[in-house]
Each structure stands twice: as structure tokens, then as C-alpha cells.
Structure 1
Amino acid sequence: MRPRVLISDQLSAAAAQIFSMRGVDVDFQPTLGKHPEKLAAAIGGYDGLAIRSATKVTAEILGAAKRLKVIGRAGIGVDNVDVPAATARGVIVMNTPFGNSVTTAEHAIALMFALAREIPAADASTQAGKWEKNRFMGVEISGKTLGVIGCGNIGTNVATRALGLKMRVIVYDPFLSGERAATLGVEKVELDELLARADFVTLHTPLTAQTRNILSRENLAKTKKGVRVINCARGGLVDEEALRKALDDGHVAGAALDVFATEPATENPLFGRPNVVCTPHLGASTTEAQEMVALQVAEQMSDYLTRGAVTNAVNFPSISAEEAPRLRPYVELAEKLGLLVGQIASAGVDKISLVYEGGVAELKTKAITASALSGLLKPILQDVNPVCAAAIAKDRGVVVEEITREAEGDYESLMRLRAVTSQGEIGVAGTVFHDGKPRIVRVGDIAVEAEFTPSMIVVSNEDRPGFIGRFAGLLGDAKINIATFALGRDSPGGSAMAIVAVDGDVPEEALAAIRRLNGVKRAAALRF
């Protein structure tokens, strides 16, 4: 069955063609996103949802999306998607962070010029039949200091263009290294210094709890008198009431805004002022950018739905189409080892340790770890998958530890999973053989090799003569057919382990009888 994707916003028609060419059925309803109740009624039949900014993907919408696996946002911002709710439901959220970088950067530069030379007001005056040459006294860009708040893809593009305009560029970005700043030719500074020195301040940071109102009343007061502010990033980064007052007071000489706290912005405290330039969220609105982000989101979503590749996800590690086939058997191994431990454990898990040895250590272990957590939690929570597993584990206070190292034993790749519970530790290990099938190779301290099958019994017992006969006889009496029987022990007469693949489910009374056998320490029926 081919996956189905709904496009609920205005995307280039080329996106629909990409989906179809990649083996995905697509339903193009570009106005549906404006009607939440209609979207909620329709979303249950789709595996993917492709959107721009008009569609608001709320927790309510996600609650109706029973099949949904991926949301693709054609653009960089995902503030119109409830990402925590999507993660909790195991839905991958992708964006296209590079598709409109140049376009948005160019718009920021254009607004800076418009602000510096009062172009919109001068245009309106001239077209009204006036000739107010002396009224519009602008300022030069060259030689001025531009303060860039946020130096990601768009901020970097703005900075490099500003340098070409012979501006001095200072940058505030906690994640920008000194080496990267030197390579770009910009000066990295703290926020207070940027505010005090910049003639123009331009914002290029996402809207988060830390960046909301980053240009607050207090921070605007720290700016250089006569500063000009440009925001092409996100509404909410600037306290609009505080900016209005700073404009009225003359402390801020002008502002150019493409984004607003409330959109569509049909009214705003900054509207109607001669020293304010406003555009209706046009940062990404060029033919080239719209075509590019539409194509990118269609390609990314198609690759995920048909090949398992994860690109530009905001809530899951990226996996290329080339990596996906190599990762798949280890993802399967991780989930089954997690299921094994989750079904054996008789108490809540406090800590998980995952050790990757050899070739597997060179892969994207974050994705493998997510699958192990998913398997571990599934026996308790049922509705869990690798996308939401890490968040669920964190909410429950489970500590997750990852270790990678070179191969130390007989296996080219080995994965060890150790769970710490209030009643002790449970350790298992597994590998993937050349046939691509995952196998158990160790439980606790006992080496025992077995394939995973749909129904299994694992028994830990004392190594005593006659035990295997009594155990097998009990299974025969319960009419449980044995498919394979794997055995191991730590030493003669010590502890032993049996992993038995059986046909069909194991009745609870049969499992209880196994636990009553003399020498049995632990017995569990497993489903994979």
C-alpha cells in the first residue's frame, strides 16, 4: 500500500509531482489548513502532512491523526507545529532550513536599505504629487556597525552581504565558535555589547523561551541612541509596545518588520508611523525560494515514507538514504534487545547503558538508541515508538548512557544493553550476522546464541543434571511445540540459560509451572 500525503497549504505544484514520482499518493488541498475542524476530520487517512505557515498543527489535530508518521514544513520555522505533542505521538517533524536562507537574508538587507533611506515614505510622498526632497534625509550604510542577533544560515548570509557593503559586523550567538566568527570576518560579542555598539540591529534567531522579547523594554534601553531595528525572523522577538514607545521617544530612529507577534497583522501598535517599514511576512516570498522549499520538503518526506531516510528533522536524528539500509538491521536489533529486557524486568528501569562496539559504533547510534528505548518501554506503555521514546524516558527520569568503542571480542559489531532497576541489573548483548538477521549472543554473564522469533521463553536456572529433560517434558505436556532450543552456562554446575523458540503463545499456567521447576531462578515468556 502506497503512503498518502496531504498538502494543506499553498505549495508549488512541483511538490505534488515529486511525491507521485517517488511512489507517494498525494492529495493537494491548499486551503484546508485554514480550517482546523476540516483538517482534523480529514487527517486520519494520511501518513504525511506537508504544510507552510497557514496550517496550525495543534495537539487536537495530532490527536485525530492516527496514521500520521511525518509532518513536513516547507520553510525554516516550525512554531506553527506543536512539536512536543508530535514527538509524544511518534510523529517526525521536518523543516527545510536552507531553502529560503538567501531569500530571507536579501529581504533583511532590502529592509535595511528601505529604513536607512526612508524609501517607502518617500515613494508614497512622491506618488502623491509632492516633491519633499528636504524631508527625507537618510543615512549611509557603509561604515556603520550591524549587530546580528543569531548567526545561523540566514544570519550568516546577512553578515556576509553586510561585509560586502563595507559595514562592520558584530554578532551575538552563544553557539557561534570564535573560529567560525573569524572565518566569517565578524566579531563575536555578548548581547549587551552588541546593543550598545550597533547602528542597525537585525534579528535572525528562532522564537524560544530564551529568545522571546529578546528586544525587551530593558534591552531596547541599552541600545545606542538612533539605532534602527530589522526583524525578518519571528514575531515575538521584539516587544512591540516597548518598540513603539522607543520610536516615539526618539531613542530608536526606525524599525523595519516583516514579522509580527500576531499574524495576519491587520492592526499593530507600530502601524502608521513614518519611521516604520512593514511587510506581510515576505522573507521567503520569492519564486525561487518557494519552488526550492516545496521541492525539498516533498523529497524529504518521500524519502522517509519510502526509504526510512530522515533529513532535517527537529525531533529525531538525521539518517541519510544511504545510511538507512545499513542502520535498519541494527535498529531492529536494538528494539528487540529492548523488548527482551522490558519483558524480563520485574521493576521499573532507572538507568540504561548502551555500549556499541566495532562497526556499529561508526553508525548513527542516536537512532539505534531511540529504538532500544522504544523496545524497552513498549511492554509497559504499548503506544511508543523511536521518535517519542527518548522524551518519554526523560519524563520518567530514566538516565540514558551511550558508549562507543572498538571491537573487543569475536564479533565485528556488538551491541550491549544494560538496564539498572531497583531489583538489580539486567544485561543482554546482540549482533547482526551477514545474513542481516539480529541475534542474541549473551544474557547476563552467559553466552547463548539465538535468533529472535515471534514467541520465545527465556529461563535462567541452576546447571543441574536432568533439568533440560524436565523442562522440555513440561512443554510437551502443555502441547507447546519447540522450534529451536539454545543453551549456555557460565561454568559447570553454575548458572545456566535456556532460550527456546516456540510455536504460538505460552499459556500463563505453563509459565507458572516452569517457574516451579526445581532450580529455576527466572522464567519469562517473550513476544517479538
Structure 2
Amino acid sequence: MAPRVLVSDKLSETAVQIFRDRGVEVDFLPDVGKDKEKLQEIIGQYDGLAIRSATKVTQKLIEAADKLKVVGRAGIGVDNVDIPAASRRGVIVMNTPFGNSITTAEHAIALLFAVARQIPAADASTQAGKWEKSKFMGVEITGKTLGLIGCGNIGSVVASRAIGLKMHVVAFDPFLSAERAEELGVEKVELEELFKRADFITLHVPLTDKTRAIIDAEAIASMKEGVRIINCARGGLVVEADLAAAIRSGKVAGAGFDVFEVEPAVESPLFGLPNVVCTPHLGASTNEAQENVALQVAEQMSDYLLKGAVTNAINMPSISAEEAPRLKPFVKLAEVLGAFVGQVTESAIKEVEILYDGSTANMNTKALTSAVLAGLIRPQVADVNMVSAPIMVKERGIILSEARRDKSGVFDGYIKLTVKTAANTRSVAGTCFSDGKPRFIQIKGINLDAEVGANMVYTTNADAPGIIGILGTEFANAGVNIANFSLGRNRPGGDAIALLYVDDPVGEKVLDLVLAHKEILSAKPLVFDVA
């Protein structure tokens, strides 16, 4: 029986025809994605769901989708898909991460020009017959400093266009190496310096806990007088009310916004303000980009439903059907190792070394490496997947090396990850036991045996009596239950570490109490996807 796909958003007819040509039954209902009740009523009939941004794939919808195997998002953002819920039900979520990069970058440049020369307001005035030439005094772009917050796939395209316009480009991106910055012709700076120097600021980062409200009243206060701000990335990166107040005060001379905290944006503090140019999330809205991502998602979904091939998956690496059962637990291990280092690393990564020992050396290490890299950079780049991660790492000039060797220790096979930054070197190793669950076996060269949990705390300390008591007491006082407690040291009286598997996330207040003890050198909360 042929697989059946529902297209619930507006995809091109050419993409719909790809499904048919490949032997997939397809129902093209481009408006049903907006009708939650109708969509939930019919979703149980389909093996695949092809969407854009209008359809919201919620946990409730996924629970009603008894046959659903794959969701394909034509575009990069998967904010409208409940990834954990899909993962729990074994539903693969695919996107098309590179189909609209140029289009989005061009839109950011277009808004930059529009704000610099007040083009929309001048157009409206002129067409109204007013001819207010003196009212619309603009600024030149040539020679100005553009501050890029995020210099990945889209940001680097914006940088090249801006340099062509004779702008000086400074960039803040924790994963941008000095070598990659030099190759792009941009100056790598810290965020505080970017705020102080930039005449124009444009954002190209995902919305994560670290980037949410990255531009607020405090950030704006540190900027140059008359700065202009462009956001074609994600709503929520800028606090709209704070920006509106700064525009009214004259601190900020203008803004161009394609994305908003709440969408569709029927109201916003920015609406109606002078020299604020707003567009309805048009970053990817060109004929070329729409066609590219639609065709790509149709091909990817067809390949999976007909052949079992997985491409550009958010929650699963590219793995053949034959090797999947043996490889799957080690893919999860690789993600966990990368996520550990990614969450404890603050400075720019320069080198990544991955060692495959014993049985892991004979596995599909390409998929394993992709999983390591996705876990490593996901804390900073939320929309990364197993396929796009190696490309993003390469774009940032990070040196990647892999090594394989025969069994060298007590474990049949393990993976060791070493990451070098300008500040330090971090290493972590892990394996999978017979139950298929990942475990940490070494951190910082210190051996231990630690089960991986959804919420963990990693601490370092000098090896001394009383550490277990300190951690146990402070966590108990805070009502935090410790499910598992693993310790290790390099030598008596030397360096020691602890990994605590806890039932619930640990807040900053609890960690501050732990760090108030001089014996504890560092304490870091960790979150892992163990579904």
C-alpha cells in the first residue's frame, strides 16, 4: 500500500507533483493547517505531513496521528513543531535548512536600506502629493559599521553583501573562529563592544534561552546614539517595548522588523513609530526560495517513506535502515557527549577531536560525528540538525579531526570528544552498556561511571573531605532530589569532579548556595534529551 501524505500549507504545485511522480498518495489541502479541529480530525489517515509555518504540529495533534511517520517543514524554522512530542512517538521531523539563506539575507539588506533612507515613509508622502524633500534626510551606508549578532549561514551572506557596500562589519558569534572571521573579512568582537561601535545592528541567531531578549533596555543604553536595528531572524530576540521607548526618545534612529514576539503581529509597540519599517515575516518569501524548499521537502519525505532514507532530520541522523538498530544508541551517546561540552563551553571553539575506540571505530562514524557536532553547537544554534551541523562547523572555521583505533581498554567500544578553545581544552568520553543507555566514563581525564539523566549538575572541586555532604545538604535544603551521584578524581588530594542526576532542573539560587562553599570551584546545570 502506497504511503499517504497530507500537504496542509501552501506548497508549490510542482512539489505536490513530486510526491505523485514518486508513487506517494498526496492530498493537497493548503488551508486545513489553519483549522486545528479539522486537521486533528483527519491527521490519523496520513503517514506524512508536509507543512510551512501556518500548521501547528502540537503534542495533541501528534497524539491523534496514529500512522504519522514524518513531518516535513519547507523552511528552516521548526518553532511550530513540538519536537520532543514527535520524538517520543517516533515521528521524524525534517526541515530544509539552507533553501532560503540568500533570500533572508537579502531581505535584511533591503530593510537596512529602507531604514537608512526612510524609503517607505518617503514613498507614502510622495504618492500623497506632499513632496516633503527636507523631511526625509537619510544617512549613507558607505563607511558605516554594521554589527552582526550571529555570523552563521545567513549572517555570513549579510556580511559579504555589507562588505560589498563598503561597510565595516563587526560580528559577535561564540562559534566564529578568528580564522573564519578573517576569511569573511569581518572583525570578531564581544557583544558589548558590538553595541558600542555599531551604526547598524542586524540579528541572525535562533531564539534560545541565551538569545531571548538579547537586545533590551540595558543593551540599548550601551549603544551609539542614532543606531538602527534590523531583525529578520526571530521575534523575541528584541524586547519590542524597550526598543519602542528608545525610538521615541531618539536613542535609536530607526528599525526594520520582519519578525515579532507574537505572530501574526496585529499589534506591536513598534507600529506607528517614525522610521520603523515592518514586514510580515517575508524573509524567505521569494519565488526562488519558496520553490527550492518545497521541492526539497517533497524529495526528502518521499525518500524516507519509500526507501527509509533520512535526510535533514531534526531529531534523527542520516542513517540507513540496515544499520539503524545497532547505531541508534551510540548516536544518542554522541549527542550527549557533544551537548555536555556545548553547555559548559562559553568561548569560541577552535578545534574538535573525536576518537572512536574499539567497536565504535567500525560503525557509521559519519553519522556519529554529525550527532556529536549537533549536540555540541545546539546550545547556541537551536535549529541545527545532524546534516547541517558539519556544514555549520566548517563555516565557522572550526578544525575537525577524527581518529579510529582498536580496543584499548576495558570497554568494547567508546567515544571520546576533545574540544579546544582559546581558553582551555575539555574532554569527555562515554559508552553504551547492554541496556543501550549512554553513560559518561571519563571527564577531564578523570574516570567515573555516570548514568545520563534529563537534568544534571556538573561540579569541579579539589579532592577533599566533605564535598558529598556539601552537595547533598544544599540540594536537600532546596528540595532537589538526587537520583544518582557519581564521583571521580585524578589522584588523592588532586582534582575531583561530580555528576549529579537530579529529578528536576536546578536554579541559579541553588547553584549560588553551592558555590558559596570555597571547596566547590564550579557548578553547571546540564539538560539532556534522553527521550
Using structure 2 for the length normalisation, give the TM-score: 0.65
Aligned pairs for 1:124-135 (under 5 A) are 124-135=124-135
Partner of 1:329: 322
Instruction: Answer yes or no: is the 8 Å Cα contact 1:334–1:368 preserved in 2.
Output: no
Partner of 1:481: none
Partner of 2:456: none
* Cα distance in 2, alignment partners of residues 357 and 241 from structure 1: 52
Q: Secondary structure of the equivalent of 1:72?
A: strand
Partner of 1:69: 69
Instruction: Answer yes or no: is the 8 Å Cα contact 1:215–1:239 preserved in 2.
Output: yes
What is the one-letter code of the residue matched to 1:112?
Answer: L
Compared with structure 1, are the counterparts of its residues 361 and 333 closer, same or farther at alpha carbon in structure 2 (3 Å cutoff)?
closer
What is the one-letter code of the residue matched to 2:251?
Answer: H
Instruction: Answer yes or no: is the 8 Å Cα contact 2:72–2:93 preserved in 1.
Output: yes
How much has 1:189 moved relative to structure 2? 1.0
Residues 475-510 of structure 1: CA deviation (Å, up to 9, x unaligned): xxxxxxxxxxxxxxxxxxxxxxxxxxxxxxxxxxxx
Q: Secondary structure of the equivalent of 2:433?
A: strand
Compared with structure 1, are the counterparts of its residues 336 and 203 closer, same or farther at alpha carbon in structure 2 (3 Å cutoff)?
closer
Partner of 1:265: 265
Partner of 2:179: 179
Aligned pairs for 1:208-223 (under 5 A) are 208-223=208-223
Aligned pairs for 1:241-320 (under 5 A) are 241-319=241-319
1:143 paired with 2:143, answer yes
How much has 1:15 moved relative to structure 2? 1.0
* Cα distance in 1, alignment partners of residues 407 and 113 from structure 2: 62
How much has 1:329 moved relative to structure 2? 3.2
How much has 1:407 moved relative to structure 2? 5.1
Aligned pairs for 1:90-489 (under 5 A) are 90-319=90-319, 324=320, 328-333=321-326, 355-356=358-359, 359-360=362-363, 362-365=365-368, 405-406=404-405, 419=433
Partner of 1:47: 47
How much has 1:415 moved relative to structure 2? 7.3
* Cα distance in 2, alignment partners of residues 149 and 23 from structure 1: 44
How much has 1:359 moved relative to structure 2? 3.9
Compared with structure 1, are the counterparts of its residues 148 and 318 closer, same or farther at alpha carbon in structure 2 (3 Å cutoff)?
farther
How much has 1:331 moved relative to structure 2? 2.5
Partner of 1:80: 80
Q: Secondary structure of the equivalent of 2:359?
A: strand
Q: Secondary structure of the equivalent of 1:364?
A: helix
How much has 1:261 moved relative to structure 2? 1.0
Q: Secondary structure of the equivalent of 2:282?
A: coil
Partner of 2:17: 17
Residues 204-243 of structure 1: CA deviation (Å, up to 9, x unaligned): 1111121111111211212111100001111111100000
Name stretches of at least 5 consecutive residues in structure 2 with no aligned partner. 332-355, 373-385, 387-401, 415-430, 440-531
* Cα distance in 2, alignment partners of residues 336 and 214 from structure 1: 36
Q: Secondary structure of the equivalent of 1:44?
A: helix
How much has 1:291 moved relative to structure 2? 0.6
Compared with structure 1, are the counterparts of its residues 407 and 244 closer, same or farther at alpha carbon in structure 2 (3 Å cutoff)?
same
Compared with structure 1, are the counterparts of its residues 4 and 404 closer, same or farther at alpha carbon in structure 2 (3 Å cutoff)?
farther
* Cα distance in 2, alignment partners of residues 61 and 209 from structure 1: 26
What is the one-letter code of the residue matched to 2:108?
Answer: A
* Cα distance in 2, alignment partners of residues 128 and 418 from structure 1: 70
Instruction: Answer yes or no: is the 8 Å Cα contact 2:102–2:154 preserved in 1.
Output: yes
Name stretches of at least 5 consecutive residues in structure 1 with no aligned partner. 339-352, 370-386, 388-402, 426-528
Instruction: Answer yes or no: is the 8 Å Cα contact 2:9–2:54 preserved in 1.
Output: yes
Q: Secondary structure of the equivalent of 1:134?
A: helix
Instruction: Answer yes or no: is the 8 Å Cα contact 2:330–2:432 preserved in 1.
Output: no
What is the CA RMSD across the aligned residues, in angstroms? Answer: 2.8
How much has 1:165 moved relative to structure 2? 0.4
Partner of 2:473: none
How much has 1:310 moved relative to structure 2? 1.9
Q: Secondary structure of the equivalent of 1:162?
A: helix
Partner of 2:518: none
How much has 1:84 moved relative to structure 2? 1.7
What is the one-letter code of the residue matched to 2:324?
Answer: V
Compared with structure 1, are the counterparts of its residues 418 and 100 closer, same or farther at alpha carbon in structure 2 (3 Å cutoff)?
closer
* Cα distance in 1, alignment partners of residues 61 and 358 from structure 2: 38
